[in-house]
Amino acid sequence: MKIVAYGIRADEKPYLDEWGKANPEVTVASTGKLLDETTVELAKGADGVVVYQQKPYTANVLNKLASYGVKNISLRNVGVDNVDTAAVKQNGLKITNVPAYSPQAIAEFTVTELMRLLRNTKTFDRKIANGDLRWAPDVAEELNQMTVGVFATGRIGRAAIQIYRGFGAKIIAYDVFHNPELEKEGIYVDTPEELYAKSDVLSIHAPATKENEHMLNDEAFSKMKDGVYVLNPARGTLVDTDALIRALDSGKVKGAALDVYEDEVGVFNTDFGSFDKIPDERLKNLLKRDNVLVTPHIAFYTKKAVHNMVWFAMDANKSLIETGNSDKLVKF
Ligand code: COI
């Protein structure tokens, strides 16, 4: 049995080697390159491929994999929004993801960023670096006085709720699907609009779909409380960045923490050598603001998560090859 793992980073390699040792019956080949038109041939002769990338898995690449007889594809991440679903169905491909490598990693990071916003740490870091040790005017707010609106109560949303509760915040939530435990607690509101109207902090944990693209747009921001804090550790496409900038300029949004950005592919996880060389003026506009925290999609980036992404994806691929099934099979 042979599995080819694409896009393997240096921090993933030890976990991949560990997995290979624990599964000596599997030949594991790996490359640091991503799966695309130029690298798909490396999969020839394999029974499955294990991948992680943010650039699209195009119909062309998926058709080629199928033509080599490689029908088992395991993603090391959770999001499947960059997969050409028509090509998956047409070719009878089986795709698995890792739905829960560490929801806590993302939840912990989200709340960390919120605390940084509420305590004005970016401003204080800048002031202190310039020898300004005064307090005023940067008086902080306390989370225990606030209502946090959680948009989507999947694993990550629920992990975030647990942490917000530790701070004593009031929690409300919106989701099409109600979690039975949270339902009993009566935290759900009926519409996104109600969530917007009642939240001091909006914590977004929805996957990206065609329907929710730019769901946070001018209209949505206009329905939010004045001075709302917006946290997006989920997907860049959920936020209309231009509308967010307008809402920041008007003061409607008092602070934002963005671990994702709609144009992040090819920009995040790249070293440009200096701030000026970052090739995106809109991103730089956001990065320069004291009340905006932009991070390059690092919420997931913990040892536990990276380990689990590699191990769970490899296990899932092996299971697809051996049994034709996996508990992580994605239904498109
Ligand atoms: C995902 O798992 O879908 C993520 O967003 C994390 C990714 C950057 C590895």
The pLDDT tens digits of the residues spanning 149-161 come to 999 999 999 999 9
Ligand 1 binding pocket, CB closer than 6 Å = 52, 77-79, 297, 300
CA–centroid distance, residue 126 to ligand 1 (Å) = 30
Q: In what order do the strands lie in the sheet with 72-75?
A: 27-30, 2-5, 48-51, 72-75, 94-96
The pLDDT tens digits of the residues spanning 119-131 come to 999 999 999 999 9
* pLDDT tens series, the chain, 332 aa: 999 999 999 999 999 999 999 999 999 999 999 999 999 999 999 999 999 998 899 999 999 999 999 999 999 999 999 999 999 999 999 999 999 999 999 999 999 999 999 999 999 999 999 999 999 999 999 999 999 999 999 999 999 999 999 999 999 999 999 999 999 999 999 999 999 999 999 999 999 999 999 999 999 999 999 999 999 999 999 999 999 999 999 999 999 999 999 999 999 999 999 999 999 999 999 999 999 999 999 999 999 999 999 999 999 999 999 999 999 999 98
Q: What is the pLDDT of residue 269?
A: 94
The closest-lying atom of ligand 1 relative to the alpha carbon of residue 52 is 9
Mutation pick for ligand 1 pocket among 76, 78, 96, 328 (CB with most ligand atoms within 8 Å): 78
CA–centroid distance, residue 300 to ligand 1 (Å) = 6
CA–centroid distance, residue 177 to ligand 1 (Å) = 22
